[in-house]
Amino acid sequence: MSRVRYGSRAVNRLSRRRVLAIAATAGVGVSVAGVTGLSLAGETSAKDDGQPLVISLRDASKGTFDIFSGGSKTTLTDKKLAARLLKAVKR
């Protein structure tokens, strides 16, 4: 698994977050953790594990994911995870 960091949060913290559902398509994927909305745009706490995560499978063939959390975007590559997700949505 390779990682690229854009924000302050590392991908290996993913398992500690409340990712409630994951769906993916071959080109574009979406996953949502439905927690609370933001009180003011841009004003979020980096320490709040209860905040939502959105995961986008940007390139299914390469297994490239974008993970959006708070004000950051992190990119990771995981072909096996991409394959599992595609299988889950019968793609």
Nearer to another protein, 8 or 12 (CB): 8
Tokens 């793609």 map to which residue?
Answer: 91
- Which amino acid belongs to residue 66? D
Q: Which of 10, 38, 46, 89 binds another protein (CB under 8 A)?
A: 38
Rounded to a whole number of angstroms, the minimum distance from the CB of residue 45 to another protein is 13
Nearer to another protein, 48 or 87 (CB): 48
How many angstroms separate the most distant Cα atoms in the chain?
38
Does residue 91 belong to the site contacting another protein (CB under 8 A)?
A: no
Q: Which residues bind another protein (CB under 8 A)?
A: 6-7, 30, 32-43, 51-54, 56, 68-73
